[in-house]
Structure 1
Amino acid sequence: MSSKKLIIFLVIAAVLIIGLLIATSFLGKHKSEVDLSKKVKPITLTYWRTTDSPGDVSDIINSFHQRYSHISIAVRQIKPEEYERALLEAWAEDRGPDIFSIPLTMLGKYQSKIYPLPSYAVLEVGRKYVTQGLKEETKITLDKISLPNLRQLKETYIDAVSSNIISPDGKIYGFPLALDTLVMYYNRDLLNNAGIAEVPQTWQEFVEEIYRLTILDREGNFVQSGANLGGVDNISHLTDTVALLMMQNGTQMFSNGKASFNQPLAEDPSYFPGVEAVRFYTDFSRQGKETYTWNEAMPKDIEAFISGKLAFYFGWASERQKIRQLAPKLNFDSAPVPQIADTLRPVNIANYNLEVVSFKTKYPDESWAFLMEMTKPEVIKSYLAKTKYPTVHRSLINWQLEDYDLSPFVNGVLTAKVWYTGKNYSLVEEAFKEMIRDVILGRRETILDAINFCVQKVNLTL
């Protein structure tokens, strides 16, 4: 080949290569733009809840929508008694929410219905933004949202959360917005009338005050009751109250994956802390005992409290607003639950809802991005300010301790414990009711026999 022909060949080849590069670059850029445009396609995430009102999360939703304008969040509020049925019916029809809320006690039951936090390091969510300058342009970028590791979770959340939202296989199934703890509500007027100036901090002080707060008529009927302890069907939170007493007394509720609250102390095989806790609880319904203050003829405990006939009501922190709504003129307040005198390890019961992503969602990354944003400490403050719930974030505890209404609840969050994470809490509640009823009616030879039978039933739910 002559040198002239070689030059012509090389020129043609160069032109073809340059053209190919330009075309490839254009097509690649076009494809990239097309891929990014898919990331900002308008979508609506449906979010089902039972607690609070849609307005309580509106600030968070609006803030998220401002950043991700293509993502809308539609909240549906469902009555607690209808919630589980609504979920099951929706899933059976291959529909349902993208995000939903469940009590931690139901996590085991619905774990297969949840899309866990992705195992990859970051979530990628598309976002539109407008450039600044002489000519404003709408651009698309990918936000890379880092997912938390185990250490970050423990540093962010209190122990009652960080030790329970991670499954044995290392998966994270959801995040809570707030904590619920058992507290002791009290009627200020009834305590003042009985000459009680200070709320009891120990169970010994509590027992001494119950006698002064209990009033019976000539027929032996309660005119006024000291506390909602000792009963069965008219006690709202029997299971958690009895579990609290057991744990405060040193009972290990579970061991090696099985219920163990029927076992003696390891350091003293002759002492059964669970037995003594059940005895202490049921003595409040035994005639002849100085602590006699409740029976099955009493109305539902919450009704007795709002009607001014109950001095102490053991309930959840989340019930404060409900009590205020039902009894706006009731002069009541709250305090931490009593502890065993001189204890070095105070114990309280914790519960909370988990916000989770449905296994049916078509938008797992966007759903998890919303939950990640929603549960940031700096974002969740607006929700906590509206609902007056105790925080699950370590960094917000001091902030809430400055709130008069919240301080009794927040005081116990660091020592609060979740005692049950099985698959059927409803059956556990029935088992505990039967245990207490057996003890009160003497249907078992010993208290330990009643507890043993309860343990067998609880094990069936694990």
Structure 2
Amino acid sequence: MVVFFFFIAYAVLGFAGIAPLPGGGKDEENIYLGSVVIWGTAPSVAISDVIDAAGFEKKVKVSYVQKNTATFDRDLTEALANGVGPDIVLLSEDLILRYQNRIQPIPYATLPIDRFKALFIQEAELYLGNDGIAALPLTVDPMVMYWNRDLFSSAGIINPPTSWSQFIDEVVPKITMVDYGAKIKRSAIAFGEFDNVTHAKDIISLLILQAGNPIILVGADGALEVVLEERFGYDVVPAQEALKYYTQFSDPSQDVYSWNRSLPLSESAFLSSDLAVYFGYASEYKEMKRKNPHLNFDVADMPQREVGAKQKITFGKMRGLSVLKATKNPNAAFAAVMLMSGPDFISTVSRLMGVPPARKDLLSKKPEQENALFYQLALQSRAWLDPLPETTSAIFRGMTEDILSKRANFADTIETAARKLENALRIKR
């Protein structure tokens, strides 16, 4: 069975454009391997219809089931416990560690690390583990900066900011309006609070990553280490610097005061032209156009630590296909994953989902209109190995609340968060 799997897997990799085709005849192409079921939270129209049109049924019958994001983990846990789970899951980057022990990785003998790195974006390397590849990536949804052209032009600002310092030096002074009662009438940037800032955890993560801290580091032996408190050669602890920048905009004593918890959700404020910039994802573009077709906005790169930064980084939400250990048909499951990692399949899925592909060969092709920027940002996308998404979200919320309520200073806040992250990592294990 193992030998058969490697032979079939390598052949399918060749058909998917991932590995060179092995020598020999065509007999293995005609082997029908059976049927498999995939669970994921991506829209069914973006997966099922493409599967139906791909012609995989000659080798493997693939069925996709769209699950609710809020109940995905519970549904999967219960299904696996009852022996009725799927064969494959469409796994996001923040669930890699959570499902690590339930995944059957692709051996490096089948797909070598150097070949994987040559094929997929850098963020995809989060899927690389000691025992193999946890998932083959399909798409990445990079964070972008949406900006209100009318508010910027009315303030006399020609271009959107390219560095975070420009918000302090120019954007906030010219756009944010605060009355004498400290009531914010119009805001340049929705930073500082947590609950009414859409994607707050991802934004804070991005600031920490841009500052030079990976949050959780993977050692040479594969061991995971929380490094939130580390300096990494900098004079100031990067995580402290990032948190200080983020929270200052919700501190009434600061000149850049621009946001507080009484304001609506940042996405809503942007759509009503009460917020100059909104940090969202590429996948939100069409929906924002639909929600307010009269809003005069554009899309720009995520600001960086400094103008002309050598390494540009944005946050990216990635999806990849993983085979579960509980599958009753591993040969068919691996074949399906590899077939669905081919350029034609990924290209169509990414187009229907409105997000860039995770394959670098597809990113090298010039897309249409606004997607050109999204493709560029796909290559800049990064993330971190999140042990327990709901738990870490509460940890990040706690960091902002500790600072804004003045319960703790920055050093103590980061230290507390680091201890909580370590505990989350232990629970996950």
Task: Determine if the TM-score, normalized by the shorter chain, exceeds 0.5.
Answer: yes
Corresponding residue for residue 4 of structure 1? none
Q: Does 1:165 align with 2:127?
A: yes
Structure 1 residue 67 displacement after superposition: 4.8
Structure 1 residue 298 displacement after superposition: 1.0
Following the alignment from structure 1 to structure 2, what is the Cα–Cα distance between the partners of residues 231 and 93?
41
Following the alignment from structure 1 to structure 2, what is the Cα–Cα distance between the partners of residues 58 and 383?
10
Q: Does 1:410 align with 2:399?
A: no
Match of 1:346 among 291, 312, 322: 312
Which residues of 2 match residues 41-440 of structure 1 at below 5 A? 43-51=34-42, 53-58=43-48, 60-64=50-54, 66-69=55-58, 71-117=60-106, 147-161=110-124, 163-169=125-131, 171-207=132-168, 208-255=170-217, 256=219, 257-266=224-233, 268=234, 270-339=235-304, 340-400=306-366, 402-419=367-384, 421-440=385-404
Larger radius of gyration: 1
Corresponding residue for residue 19 of structure 2? none
Corresponding residue for residue 407 of structure 2? 443
Q: Which AA in structure 1 matches 2:412?
A: D
Residue segments in structure 1 that go unaligned for 5+ positions in a row: 1-34, 122-146
Following the alignment from structure 2 to structure 1, what is the Cα–Cα distance between the partners of residues 56 and 38?
18
Structure 1 residue 218 displacement after superposition: 5.0
Following the alignment from structure 1 to structure 2, what is the Cα–Cα distance between the partners of residues 313 and 449?
30
The C-alpha deviation readout for 1:185-239, integer Å capped at 9, x for no partner, is 1122222332322111112223211222212345432222111211121122222
Tell whether the 8 Å contact from 1:397 to 1:410 is kept in structure 2 after alignment. Answer: yes
Structure 1 residue 391 displacement after superposition: 2.3
Tell whether the 8 Å contact from 1:265 to 1:271 is kept in structure 2 after alignment. Answer: no
Structure 1 residue 50 displacement after superposition: 0.9
1:293 is paired with a residue of what secondary structure? coil
Q: Does the C-alpha gap of structure 1 residues 252 and 384 become closer, same or farther in structure 2, counting only changes over 3 Å?
A: closer
User: Which stretch of the first structure deviates more once superposed, 67-76 or 172-181?
Assistant: 67-76
Structure 1 residue 281 displacement after superposition: 1.0
Which residues of 2 match residues 5-20 of structure 1 at below 5 A? none
Structure 1 residue 59 displacement after superposition: 5.0
Tell whether the 8 Å contact from 1:227 to 1:310 is kept in structure 2 after alignment. Answer: yes
Following the alignment from structure 1 to structure 2, what is the Cα–Cα distance between the partners of residues 275 and 67?
50
The C-alpha deviation readout for 1:2-46, integer Å capped at 9, x for no partner, is xxxxxxxxxxxxxxxxxxxxxxxxxxxxxxxxx99x9537x4422
Following the alignment from structure 1 to structure 2, what is the Cα–Cα distance between the partners of residues 80 and 322?
18
Corresponding residue for residue 11 of structure 1? none
Following the alignment from structure 2 to structure 1, what is the Cα–Cα distance between the partners of residues 59 and 313?
46
Following the alignment from structure 1 to structure 2, what is the Cα–Cα distance between the partners of residues 336 and 201?
7
Q: How many residues of Structure 1 are paired with residues of Structure 2 in the alignment?
A: 391
Match of 1:40 among 32, 38, 56: 32
Corresponding residue for residue 16 of structure 1? none
Q: Which AA in structure 1 matches 2:396?
A: F
Indicate the structure whose relative CO is greater, using CA pairs within 8 Å and at least 6 residues apart.
Answer: 2
1:109 is paired with a residue of what secondary structure? coil
Structure 1 residue 311 displacement after superposition: 1.2
1:74 is paired with a residue of what secondary structure? strand
Tell whether the 8 Å contact from 2:176 to 2:258 is kept in structure 1 after alignment. Answer: yes
Structure 1 residue 159 displacement after superposition: 1.5
Q: Which AA in structure 1 matches 2:410?
A: I
Q: Which AA in structure 2 matches 1:149?
A: P
Following the alignment from structure 1 to structure 2, what is the Cα–Cα distance between the partners of residues 152 and 79?
34
Tell whether the 8 Å contact from 1:228 to 1:310 is kept in structure 2 after alignment. Answer: yes
Identity across aligned pairs (percent)? 27
Tell whether the 8 Å contact from 2:208 to 2:239 is kept in structure 1 after alignment. Answer: yes
The C-alpha deviation readout for 1:384-422, integer Å capped at 9, x for no partner, is 22222122111122324x432122322233332222x14
Q: Which AA in structure 2 matches 1:222?
A: I
The C-alpha deviation readout for 1:83-127, integer Å capped at 9, x for no partner, is 2222122112210222222222111111222232267x6xxxxxx
Structure 1 residue 378 displacement after superposition: 3.3
Following the alignment from structure 1 to structure 2, what is the Cα–Cα distance between the partners of residues 67 and 228?
46
2:96 is paired with a residue of what secondary structure? helix
Q: Which AA in structure 2 matches 1:186?
A: W
Corresponding residue for residue 456 of structure 1? 419
Following the alignment from structure 1 to structure 2, what is the Cα–Cα distance between the partners of residues 411 and 326?
26
Tell whether the 8 Å contact from 2:140 to 2:357 is kept in structure 1 after alignment. Answer: yes
Tell whether the 8 Å contact from 1:230 to 1:283 is kept in structure 2 after alignment. Answer: yes
Residue segments in structure 2 that go unaligned for 5+ positions in a row: 1-26
2:187 is paired with a residue of what secondary structure? strand
Structure 1 residue 57 displacement after superposition: 2.4
Q: Does the C-alpha gap of structure 1 residues 197 and 368 become closer, same or farther in structure 2, counting only changes over 3 Å?
A: same
